[in-house]
Amino acid sequence: MLALAVLASGCGRDEDGTGVPPAGGRQRLEAPPARALDSYAAKLRAAHAARVAAAKRWGLKKVPLIAPPAPKKKPRITTREGFEVDGHRRLGLPPVFTTVPTEEKVVFLTIDDGAEKDPEFLRMMSELRIPYSAFLSDYLVREDYGYFGRMRDRGVALHNHTLRHPALRGLPYARQKREICGMQDVIEERYGVRPVLFRPPFGTYDKATLHAAKACGITHVPLWNQEVFVDRWEYREWDRALRPGDIVLSHFRGRGEWKGTMPDMIRRFLDKVTAEGYAVGRLEDYL
């Protein structure tokens, strides 16, 4: 910003450097690159002011940090140790993971099912410009397909969480495939895109689940390393710490099941990650 200020202050001077137009009233015009820099700086200031105002409006303790640019080279995603099924790699089954390999202090917010359809949540996330990924189940989404259409129109990626949210592990292959491929069809028909990300309900799966997911066009199976509720966090790791690239789970819930609203949950989420120096990234940019 200092460099921009120096450039901007220098390009408006007259030829003798006094700041006073020369005789005849002719003043040297600013060079186009300087005007472009000044315009860019003004946009940055306006964007920051908007983020500050939004953070204050939604009751955040600090302004959320801006995520780093999406990596030009995507990290190699592999199945987390202990999460493999028999022949996982040999069969080319989708990787199951809880963290994205990155050294950047960035985490990813994912929200499951679709039970709560709070318009204030949509407004909050849009004003704060916080990315997140939605994993949807049709038995809940069908109550208001338009709500999730508005979410998609705001740039949110919609992914697969089965038709009816059963625990898949142990179910016959054909039943699992109907649940996964059926939700693929719903999202494609309603929202114009066929997902490549799938999250099994309750995080439970078996070899048949991953075979079915692959047959339905799924390339990645992200689980989670932390879960945030309106009143608490839960952790997979023993040290209860955030790590770069962690995937955080939450749910579309409201006062019917929580002691608060989805905006309340987002405040808890953002206050913690921001205080610990993390930004919220877009999961799809890393896959």
CATH number of residue 153's parent domain: 3.20.20.370
pLDDT value at 120 more than 80: yes
The verdict on residue 253 lying in a domain is: yes
Looking at the structure, tell me whether residues 112 and 37 fall in a common domain.
Answer: no
Q: 103 to each of 12, 62, 245, 287, how far by Cα in Å? A: 42, 23, 8, 15
The verdict on residue 18 lying in a domain is: no
Looking at the structure, tell me whether residues 134 and 164 fall in a common domain.
Answer: yes
Domain count across the chain: 2
Looking at the structure, tell me whether residues 91 and 185 fall in a common domain.
Answer: yes
Looking at the structure, tell me whether residues 186 and 158 fall in a common domain.
Answer: yes
Looking at the structure, tell me whether residues 53 and 154 fall in a common domain.
Answer: no
Looking at the structure, tell me whether residues 262 and 163 fall in a common domain.
Answer: yes
The verdict on residue 47 lying in a domain is: yes
Return d(Cα 54, Cα 64) in angstroms, integer: 10
Using alpha carbons only, give the angle 151, 159, 166 rounded to the nearest 5 degrees.
Answer: 120
**Which one, of 135, 220, 217, lies nearest residue 177 by Cα?**
217
Residue with tokens 């309750």: 202
pLDDT 10s digits, 241-274: 999 999 999 999 999 999 999 999 999 999 999 9
pTM, two decimals, is 0.86
Return d(Cα 174, Cα 10) in angstroms, integer: 71
Element (H, E) at 94: none
Looking at the structure, tell me whether residues 155 and 241 fall in a common domain.
Answer: yes
Return d(Cα 175, Cα 94) in angstroms, integer: 19
Looking at the structure, tell me whether residues 35 and 137 fall in a common domain.
Answer: no
Instruction: Fill in the DSSP letter of residue 216.
Output: T
Dihedrals φ, ψ of 133, to 5°?
Answer: -120, 135
Handedness of CA 84, 87, 89, 94 (dihedral sign): negative
The verdict on residue 63 lying in a domain is: no
Return d(Cα 132, Cα 251) in angstroms, integer: 12
What local confidence, expressed as pLDDT, does residue 163 receive? 98
Q: Which residue has the higher pLDDT, 44 or 213?
A: 213
Looking at the structure, tell me whether residues 160 and 261 fall in a common domain.
Answer: yes
Range of the domain at 2: 1-12+31-57
The verdict on residue 82 lying in a domain is: yes
**Which one, of 119, 83, 80, 117, lies nearest residue 100 by Cα?**
80
Residues 65, 274 contacting (CB under 8 angstroms):
yes
The verdict on residue 74 lying in a domain is: yes
Q: Look up residue 117 and give its two tokens.
A: 């359809």
pLDDT 10s digits, 121-172: 999 999 999 999 999 999 999 999 999 999 999 999 999 999 999 999 999 9
Q: 159 to each of 65, 72, 219, how far by Cα in Å? A: 25, 23, 12
Q: SS in 3 state form for 223-263?
A: CCCEEECCCCEEECCCCCCCCCCEEEEEECCCCCCCCCCHH
Report helix, strand or coil for 68.
Answer: coil
Looking at the structure, tell me whether residues 81 and 1 fall in a common domain.
Answer: no
What percent of the chain has pLDDT above 70?
Answer: 88
Report helix, strand or coil for 42.
Answer: helix
Please, what is the average pLDDT of the chain? 90
Looking at the structure, tell me whether residues 48 and 177 fall in a common domain.
Answer: no
What local confidence, expressed as pLDDT, does residue 27 receive? 47
Looking at the structure, tell me whether residues 120 and 5 fall in a common domain.
Answer: no
Residues 91, 116 contacting (CB under 8 angstroms):
no
